[in-house]
Copies of this chain bind each other. A is one copy, B any other.
Amino acid sequence: MSERIPVLRIGDVLLVSVQFDLEDQTVLNLQEDLAEQIVAKSARGVVIDISALEIVDSFVGRMLATVAAISRVLDARTVVVGMRPAVAITLVELGLSLGGVSTALDLEKGLAKLRRPIGSASQ
């Protein structure tokens, strides 16, 4: 298994598809790669797809929040897409509300959200 999750690019948006349970080092690598790519490609947004994840615990929740915070500091926005209904239920039951992390139902809705100006109605 690779220890680096590939960061893909669509225009000025970076795309990450999280497909397996993350270890500490993988998360650190991802945060580093994303920060580098945001700067190198002048990316305006980051989309993180978690549709493959059956469990989102506090570790993953923290990772998502940290990525969003890093992006924000670098003037990019982050949208988490593809959350399963069961994951949403578990998150709330665990008391994790993913505060500060923007979400959308799928990749396409996430890309659309990034295209809208910050502060518009459904942001």
Q: Does A4 contact B (CB under 8 A)?
A: yes
Q: Does A52 contact B (CB under 8 A)?
A: yes
Indicate the size class of the contact surface on chain A.
20 to 34
Q: Which residues of B contact A5 (CB under 8 A)?
A: 19, 52
Given A11-B108, A108-B11, A20-B6 contact (CB < 8 Å): no
| Main DSSP-derived SS at the A contact region | loop
Q: Which residues of B contact A20 (CB under 8 A)?
A: 1-2, 19-20
Chain A positions 1-29 with a Cβ under 8 Å from a chain B Cβ: 1-2, 4-6, 8-11, 15, 17, 19-21
Q: Which residue of B lies closest to A21 (CB)?
A: B1
Contact with B along A66-97 (1 / 0, CB 8 A): 00000000000000001000000000000000
Quick one: which of B11, B21, B52 contacts A6, CB cutoff 8 A? B52
Beyond the given A6-B19, A8-B17, A11-B108, could you list 11 further A-B residue pairs with CB under 8 A, ordered by the A residue number? A1-B20, A2-B20, A2-B52, A6-B49, A6-B51, A8-B106, A8-B107, A9-B106, A9-B107, A15-B107, A17-B17
